[in-house]
Each structure stands twice: as structure tokens, then as C-alpha cells.
Amino acid sequence: MLIQAWHKLAQQGLEEDVGHGDITTELTIPKDLQGTMNFTARQELVICGLPIIQAVYDQLNPAVSICLYRQEGEKCQPQDVVASVKGPVQSLLMGERVVLNVLTWLSGIATITRAMVDKISDLPVKILDTRKTRPGQRIYEKYAVKVGGGHNHRFGLYDAILVKDNHVAAKGGMVNALHDIRRHAPHGMFIEVEVDRLEQIPEVLAAQVDGILLDNMSVEEVRQAVLYINHRVFVEASGGINPANLREMAETGVDAISLGYITHSAPYVDIGADWEVTE
């Protein structure tokens, strides 16, 4: 991800948390006191978001030195030190919460994504994210999905065409919606259509689209759809898919499964910050 994006995230976090100063730290910690603080995994996880450490301390105090012991996407065990920071204790403490918030948030997404990917690693099925992300945070959450081994679906409404049920309803039918799209779509742009009933598939295939999204269908319906489509277009399953039914859905033969679950339901992981003052 771009350095500017991490810088922006660090700036927002510091403005929110530190504001015009850390009153407690400034009143208790001498300016010249030096120390080392370790960021340590307290559970099994996939680490993600390490660039935020540099971005935070570059803004707080460039004199802070940073050492990374793990790489993005690496699995960590409890008590593994993923990174350490060394320098003025005042600066270390001011940046601690912003760093931990980002690491625990993004590592949570990467960890649950990796778990989903591992569940179906023997099958030729991609795990995709969705647009169900926190406003203003999509670039980071989709980054975490990639770090966890998943793949990014469209980033927004602007970079791919996905005809959904509301488009069809507003336009007065599938034929009308697809006719206009075929006439005016930018050359080479991927065109995918969402269907929620098996009887919609022949009409969509006749329109020569690039992909079909099977939305909120049962495993048996998806299996029937895959057999009927027979590799003529890209097939994606979505809607209500979670760890409990992921494997069964992947075994239907779809090309990809998109899960809002990996972003909107990923729990934060447990990472701690422990420091030791040097005399």
C-alpha cells in the first residue's frame, strides 16, 4: 500500500488520540527517559499493519528506532514479538494506542481471511472480499484481506459492473438493464450480473456477460447453477456464507466465494505493548 495512506491513517489516529498532548505521560515521564517497547502477539494470528509503526513514530518523533521481527502476512504464535520501538518513553507511549488499534484491527481481518483460505486450500476457489467495509477505511481493510491470502473484489462502484436486483427492478427487467449496459459499458470492463433464482440464468448467459453472482442461494441451488453454466462464465457465490458453510459451498464448483464476513465480522486480535526502561 502507498506510504501516503499509512501516513494519513497515522495522522488521523494521532489527532484523535493525542490531540494537543498526552497529559498523563507529560506529567509522569521525564523527557530524557529512554526505553524499549515490544509489540507482542498474545494469541495465534496473522500479522498485518506493521507499516503503521513507522508512520506513527515518524510523526511523533523521528528519533524513535523501529525493529520488525515479523513480516506482513506471517503467522505468529502467542508471545512472539512482532516489532519493537526504542527511544524517548514519552513518544513511545503517545503512539502506543494508535499502533495497537491498527495492528489488532487489520491483523484480525488478515487472520480470519487466512482461516477461510486454509479451509478450502485444496480447492480451486478464490476467497473474495466485498464492499461491506467501514466508511473511509476500505483501502486498509481490503489490504488486510490480501495480506491474509484473499482477493479483492471491486473497490467501489466505479471499477467494475455488477448488475444487482435493484438495478433490474428500477430498469423494468433484466433484458432492459443488460441491453443498455452492453451498448455503453467501457471497453474491456468486467460485467457481472447478480441472480437469486435459477430461472434467471439462461437470460443472463444469453446476454454474453463475463460473470454471474449467485446470491443467497442454497448449496443445492448453487450446485445446479454451476452444472448448468458449465464454465461458460465466471461463477461467484455470495450471501450468508460463513465458516460453518464455506467448505460445502466451495465444493459446488464455483470459481469464487465473496464474504462480507471477513471484514464486517472479523474480531480484533490480541496484541500487547510491553516496555522496559533503560537506565
Residue positions annotated with a catalytic role: 97, 132, 164, 194, 215
* Residue in 96, 21, 28, 19 with CA at minimum distance from that of residue 57: 96
Amino acid identity, residue 260? G
* Residue in 145, 162, 151 with CA at minimum distance from that of residue 125: 151
**Contact predicate 238/261, CB 8 Å:** no
Q: What is the rounded CA–CA span in Å between residue 218 and residue 42?
A: 38
Strands 45-46 and 271-277: unpaired
Residues in Cβ contact with 143 at an 8 Å cutoff, skipping those fewer than 6 apart: 1, 48, 106
